[in-house]
Structure 1
Amino acid sequence: MSKLLRLAILALFTLIPALAHQRIEVGNYVLICGMRNEPSYTGMRSGLDLSIRTKDGTPVEKAEKSLTVELISPTGSKYTYLGDGQYGPKSFWESFSEKGKYLSDWVLLTPGLWKVRVFGQIGETPIDVTFDSPSTFTVKDGKALELR
């Protein structure tokens, strides 16, 4: 297989999950949010995958310090994630390998449409957006994957 073809295949599989992410512009900022593993299934590890950039494409670093992430279940239950530097449950953090990318871990147990609300402030710009795209945030029943 040629090197060019291998690179093209790698690029395709790297970009596919990002294509399902939802994009919202606020002021001079672009927030792109999705699940770390798409499609997502109940009982399987996933998490927040949020990129924040300026409109000219510059990554926004250290935004976790002034933002809060709220995960909203299909039943309306709310779970708050803080950029508190803890790197654990109910926390989100900036990626070590990609500037302007923020991550968390979660295991969702309820199938259906989940929502992610991001609120707070970036610089002088107030942020309060909810990501709720059915193609991104619908969690499927993981029992369909079980083998017995």
Structure 2
Amino acid sequence: MRKRLIIGSLGVLAALLMALIPLSSASAHEMRHVGNYTFIVGFLNEPAYTGSQNAISLTVCNGKTCEIAGGGDDGPVSNPVNDVDKSLKAEVSTGGSAPLALSLQPVDGAPGKYTADFIPTQTGDYTFHFTGTLNGQKIDEKFTSGPNTFSEVAQISSYPASKGTTTQGRNDISSLQAQIQDAKNTGILVGSIGTLVGLIGLGTAVVALRRRPASGTQSDESLRG
């Protein structure tokens, strides 16, 4: 009975592993039949993160499949399509941002493979759009990242803070301190002017009092007259 349970458990585990393997492969890059060709598209570096150097990864093969040595989508292709960069254009877009035109570049020593460098600056889904012709066949294909295609762009924590961020923070603090000091200086100036005006007023009053004749003197002069 125990042996049956163990064998049954192993069978369930093997089935789960077999089910997960195709999902992992599918999430790395998207493979699509495009007329007489097969395209494999994704980010060059996956997972993809904002602010990190990345690129479109494009593999183009003759026929309905890509014959890649060793399996997966990173090995050499035995049925590559050459000179794709000369007849296809690439664009990347995300959200409501205008598409960015990119130049496809062949990968040295890897026929059929091409890249187009850029740095994603926003999280979310990205769409790679290829247009042009391949040996007379019109190409107009869009590949969008997602759970069943290729990596979405995620945010990654950075440490330590970049110099630009630190400098900006210091500049903001310095600016705030300067504003506070200006306010203090303005307050001191206004207070000094007020004090000066008060002193002038007091001096004027003292002078006026000194110039005013005493009331007793006026009475004596009136009697003498």
| Shorter-normalised TM range | 0.7 to 0.9
1:106 offset after TM fit, Å? Answer: 1.1
Matched, 1:20 2:22: no
Whole-Å Cα distance in 1 between the matches of residues 111 and 26 of structure 2? 16
Structure with more relative contact order (C-alpha pairs < 8 Å, separation 6 or more):
1
| Larger gyration radius, structure 1 or structure 2 | 2
Partner of 2:41: 33
Q: 1:72 to 1:20 in 2, by over 3 A?
A: same
Q: Is the 8 A contact 1:74 1:111 kept in 2?
A: no
Q: Is the 8 A contact 2:42 2:145 kept in 1?
A: no
Q: Is the 8 A contact 2:85 2:105 kept in 1?
A: yes
Q: Is the 8 A contact 2:40 2:60 kept in 1?
A: yes
Which of residues 57, 71, 82 in structure 2 aligns to 1:61? Answer: 82
Matched, 1:139 2:153: yes
Q: Which runs of 5+ in 1 are unaligned?
A: 1-15, 82-90
Q: 1:99 to 1:18 in 2, by over 3 A?
A: farther
Quick one: which amino acid aligns to residue 61 of structure 1?
A: N
Whole-Å Cα distance in 2 between the matches of residues 114 and 18 of structure 1? 16
Please identify which structure carries the higher strand content: 1
Q: 1:19 to 1:99 in 2, by over 3 A?
A: farther
Which of residues 89, 97, 106 in structure 2 aligns to 1:76? Answer: 97
Q: Which runs of 5+ in 2 are unaligned?
A: 1-23, 67-78, 161-225
Whole-Å Cα distance in 2 between the matches of residues 33 and 43 of structure 1? 21
Which of residues 140, 148, 151 in structure 2 aligns to 1:128? Answer: 140
Deviations 1:51-83 (A, max 9, x none): 0001164100001111010101222320011xx
Where do 1:102-113 residues align within 5 Å?
Answer: 102-113=114-125
Q: Is the 8 A contact 1:118 1:129 kept in 2?
A: yes
Please identify which structure carries the higher helix content: 2
Whole-Å Cα distance in 2 between the matches of residues 120 and 139 of structure 1? 27
TM-score by length of 2: 0.51
Report how many aligned residue pairs link the two structures: 122
Deviations 1:18-67 (A, max 9, x none): 86101121111001101011010000011011000011641000011110
Whole-Å Cα distance in 1 between the matches of residues 95 and 55 of structure 2? 16
Quick one: which amino acid aligns to residue 78 of structure 1?
A: P
Quick one: which amino acid aligns to residue 48 of structure 2?
A: S
Of 132-141 and 22-31, the range deviating more from structure 2:
132-141
Of 71-80 and 119-128, the range deviating more from structure 2:
71-80
Partner of 2:52: 44
Partner of 1:118: 130
